[in-house]
Structure 1
Amino acid sequence: MSEDHGHGWQGELLDLPAYLKRVGHDGGLAPTAATLRALHRAHVTSIPFENLEIMLGRPIELSLDAVQAKLVGRPRGGYCFEHNRLFAAVLERLGYEVAAVAGRVTLGSAKILPATHALLHVRPPDASRDEPAWLCDVGFGAGPLEPLRLVDGEEAVQDGWGFRLRRGRTVTTWTPHTAEWEMHQRGPGGWVQRHTFVLNEVFRIDFEVGSYYVSTSARSPFTTRPFVQKFSSDALRVLDGTKLTVTRPDGTAESRTLAPEDVPGTLAEDFGIVLEGEDPDRLVEFVRARN
């Protein structure tokens, strides 16, 4: 066996039938734009976003075996590095051209924030280089349902949810030809910049570095409380600490606060996340201590 130099996504090691069963995709697998849209939608609506391993005191493992065992083999989810580690392997296995890029989550802020979000730049193998590539974002937790074409200013409305890609500013005076892209999401008050990214390729080792910061730094929002999301065509469900919010495509939202002991049951019922063994009690203890 040749030495693994860290290129590519090890799609040959993927249990593709198990993944397709997990996301409920029983359609065609030819590496076309239509297949890409179908797989993206199936993944986003089937596997939730969650950071619970951090609350439970365990490291986030990004080997393909570990990610498959958690997101496919168990009723669990993960955050962007786990989701896109898995989805990149799926697309590579099917024959797509896949490259990862790093994003900076801004949510409307003008402050420079660390590049801690993973996205995928994807082309069907027979696509002309004159055609725009696709941006896949299965690991944010709040959509989009389907990939977006990398076209400046193009808006996509997907089952009532609005998304837009725009070219932003030049990144620095030292790299005048490197343009930043912006992902925008439509909210009740209009368009909000969700994150920015530059089309510079990153690799599996970069996922490891970003994931370590996100899962261990006191400055990371993911080390302080449970944060779980489940996206579908008709609702975005978010558990932020003990606050459960359900938002509809028209922007209407309902919220309620859970008792700590109700969190594991809500994870199972609303998010399809089933904690095993001592994990429910450990999570309740963490939430109580933080509250």
Structure 2
Amino acid sequence: MSQQDLRALMAAENPLIVPSIYDGISALSFREHGFKAAYIGSYGTGATRYGLPDIGYIGPEDMADQVRRLAPLVQVPVIVDAEAGWGNPLHVARNTKLLEQAGAAALHIEDHVFGKHITRKPTIVALDTAVDKIKAALDARDSEDFLIIARTDSSQSHGGVEAVRRLLAYQEAGADALFLAGMLTPEEWKTLTAEARIPIVVCDSPGVSAAEFAELGAGVVIYYALAHMSATPAMRAAYAALAAEGSTVSIEESWNGVQGVLGYDAFLGGDAVRAKAEQYGLLG
């Protein structure tokens, strides 16, 4: 969970694959497969904690609470969605400290007007404003091992040339990594990778593998909705079966899968736990 590991992972992996987590079971399930970094996003947080769409309802305390609860479970560096910083550069500074102290290894700051997902063509803030937010985050962090990732959403509304221009400006401002939201043409990718001196981060996209992103030049691929989008169809199917059949017989699976994820066997069978339980008279 140490922050310094993330910079090294970004340099070593090709690419670094970063799946999302949103609760205890997803965090423990994540641990079973050897992933080296995890992601906590506003989309998953709003959807799973409050049943809300990702249009700016989630605040910094929501994200910090997720980090405090889940980072110790995954035991790897966690990248956190800091939206557009939740305000002006002063707010960005305060929220950078909040997420760093909560246990995150990195945050990403976006360059749109807060609440971008209300439209598919977000309003992008002035470049100077976005740069000031990045500089505020860099100034506020306690350790240089806490990474500040600068994200642009400008390709969707202003095109790929503008997205590349902005990302390179964020690099000059001191960002530790560059986050491209959206897609570029092959020529735009060539321009970006030729001038980028720091890792390029992308979100997974339908029909594109992590290896294909790496071929384009991405060093980090975030699977921002993997966990909660995978869980939702299974839950809906289970509720539908119970509603239709008045039973769960048709969908029953062994409890052992969940019990194993939660560590019941280790808890009940561990000598140290049993010794403590006997000491406190808990074993009949």
The TM-score normalised by the length of structure 2 is 0.30
Structure with the higher strand share, 1 or 2:
1
* Alignment TM-score, normalising by the size of structure 1: 0.29
Larger relative helix fraction: 2
